[in-house]
Amino acid sequence: MSMDAISVIRTKRDRGRLADEQIDWIIDAYTRGEVADEQMSALAMAILLNGMDRAEIARWTAAMIKSGERMDFSALPLPTADKHSTGGVGDKITLPLAPLVAACGAAVPQLSGRGLGHTGGTLDKLESIPGWRALLSNDEMMDVLRNVGSVICAAGDGLAPADKKLYALRDVTGTVEAIPLIASSIMSKKIAEGTGSLVLDVKVGSGAFMKNLEDARELASTMVGLGTDHGVKTVALLTDMSTPLGLTAGNALEVRESVEVLAGGGPADVVELTLALAREMLDAAGVKDADPAKALADGSAMDHWRRMIIAQGGDPDAVLPVAREQHVVKAASTGVLTKLDAYAVGVSAWRLGAGRARKEDPVQAGAGIEMHAKPGDSVVAGQPLMTLHTDTPEKFDYALAALDGGVEIAAEGTAFEPNPIVLGRIA
């Protein structure tokens, strides 16, 4: 059938349904360079405005998977389980989670990404460990999985190349928020990755792409449906991102906190979410009678962490980078901290150098924010609320400006109940 980009754009612009042949052609032609960026930009905006039905999204996802290779973990002696987070502030959960699930008997092939804007990236965090490598060949990845049980690395260029092109385009054309494109982007990579089961951590709140529960539920349901349609057992948890996770936002800072969790300590919210996701992953993989809480307490999760870091060239005993300059933010009054906005903290950490505005930008390993109180805590005027870290102190004013309106302290005795970490589950 003869196809052209303008006809495909007009179909969706006019609220029509894209035929399977149109979807297959436009994804293939864009990957090969036959369809120009401006044409795909127009189609992405039409999809943002007019949506797609479930069959369209499934076909779009399948076409992106078909644009590249598919990985196969069937030769592994263990069932595989993976986790994907839609991104947030202080979201270091992958770091303790992957070795924890491996310690409980499932293999975890965790393909992760880098941060962009106010959301942190798993690979950026791990690269603050001296020697650690994100880029592994498929053979190296399989070796680490066989020998350790978990691996966290970058996706290869051959995995869903259509998504790589389209994601970069969406980022600069205001179409990142389109639910059909978010869902197909995430699921094309995860399905092509070849995992047997998948648990999705769909963030909700100011620091997430999905600001309200209704949109997050729609995204989660769409992704669970896509996974199911492609034979991957998929479950989603809706989790709070109105407040940063844990007490750190930054790269080396979050690695330190993750190691605390693996040592049996760490902030209660990070431990709670890590265990909740671990239980979902083990259940989806069919691993019974494993207790992830016990694996944290007895040191087996920590053993797997150390082996995983060493297998990827890192030194788990190395001293992590520390920023050269610090600035303390103090409580303006005495009372109850009722707001510590995730987006404000994320943007502030980004401005300090912990994140990037463009994919090619460098990040500072030691930059970020330590939080000394969380919503619900009582505070006294003048006590430290946050410590800002950076190698470039001229950025302090810019980072402090991002925190304006992001912190609220109510009068002493004010009743305050923080949001639960897990807001819902979709299977």
Report the catalytic residues: 84, 163, 170, 185, 189
Determine phi and psi for 319, rounding to 5 degrees.
-75, 130
Q: How far apart are CA 341 and CA 161, in angstroms?
A: 35
Tokens of 107: 């293999």
Q: How far apart are CA 138 and CA 117, in angstroms?
A: 29
**Contact assessment for residue 239 and residue 422, using Cβ atoms and an 8 Å cutoff:** yes
For residue 376, which of 338, 420, 412 has the smallest C-alpha distance?
A: 338
Contacts of 249 (CB under 8 A, 6+ apart): 89, 90, 120, 345, 346, 349, 354, 368, 369, 371
- DSSP letter for each residue of 344-379: HHHHHHIIIIIS-SSTT----TT-EEEES--TT-EE
Count CB atoms within 10 A of the CB of residue 4.
14
**Contact assessment for residue 196 and residue 232, using Cβ atoms and an 8 Å cutoff:** yes
- Burial label for 405, CB within 10 Å (0-12, 13-18, 19+), is exposed
The amino acid sitting at 132 is W
**Contact assessment for residue 181 and residue 166, using Cβ atoms and an 8 Å cutoff:** yes
Strand, coil or helix: what is 84?
A: strand
